[in-house]
């Protein structure tokens, strides 16, 4: 028992100090959907893998007045989306933000998002101790229609 708890304590302290300067979350395949004229909202998608148990608590970008973390799910026969306060990022597990699931919602867009442009998204991640870290992600904008997203 004693050995075990000491082992845990050592493991925790190692974790604590080792990641001080390391990237908290690995972001892969980020992209945001291009908008058409007059469209004021769109989604950003990516895969997040946290090195330690943490959660995505906020996102922001200069191009959107409001940025929220959304979840999309079927409610009876209708796809609905709603803001969630946070998205859990279990240690080492890839969490996919994708059309039809979790996404970062960009609303009140200040400028149209054109294909092949890039936006900067700042993610705020909170670790198990409540420590918040921000991380900038360069997100390429792509014009992809919903139909072409289907995987067959």
Nearest to Cu ion of 52, 70 (CB atom): 70
Tell which residue, 11, 29, 3, 9, has the closest CA to residue 139: 29
Q: Give how many residues touch Cu ion by CB under 5 A.
A: 3
Tell which residue, 120, 64, 127, has the closest CA to residue 91: 127
Name which of residues 87 to 106 contact Cu ion (CB under 5 A). Answer: 105
Judged by CB under 5 A, the residue of 70, 121, 127, 141 near Cu ion is 70
Name residues whose C-beta falls within 8 Å of residue 37's C-beta, 6 or more positions apart in sequence.
112
Per-residue CA distances from 142 to 8, 53, 82, 88, 117 (Å): 45, 31, 23, 26, 8
Residue 44 C-beta: closest distance to Cu ion, Å: 10
Asked if 33 is part of the footprint of Cu ion (rule: CB under 5 A), the reply reads no
Asked if 81 is part of the footprint of Cu ion (rule: CB under 5 A), the reply reads yes
Asked if 32 is part of the footprint of Cu ion (rule: CB under 5 A), the reply reads no
Positions that interact with Cu ion (CB under 5 A): 70, 81, 105
């Amino acid at each position: 028992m004693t050995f075990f708890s000491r082992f845990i304590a050592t493991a925790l302290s190692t974790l604590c100090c080792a990641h001080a300067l390391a990237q908290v979350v690995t972001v892969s395949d980020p992209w945001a959907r291009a908008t058409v004229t007059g469209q004021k909202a769109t989604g950003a998608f990516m895969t997040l893998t946290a090195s330690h148990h943490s959660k995505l608590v906020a996102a922001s970008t200069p191009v959107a007045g409001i940025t929220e973390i959304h979840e999309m799910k079927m409610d009876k026969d209708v796809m609905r989306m709603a803001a969630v306060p946070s998205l859990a990022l279990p240690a080492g597990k890839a969490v996919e933000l994708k059309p039809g699931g979790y996404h970062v919602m960009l609303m009140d867009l200040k400028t149209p998002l054109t294909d092949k442009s890039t936006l900067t998204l700042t993610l705020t991640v909170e670790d198990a101790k409540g420590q918040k870290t921000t991380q900038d992600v360069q997100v390429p904008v792509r014009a992809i229609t919903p139909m072409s997203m289907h995987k067959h």
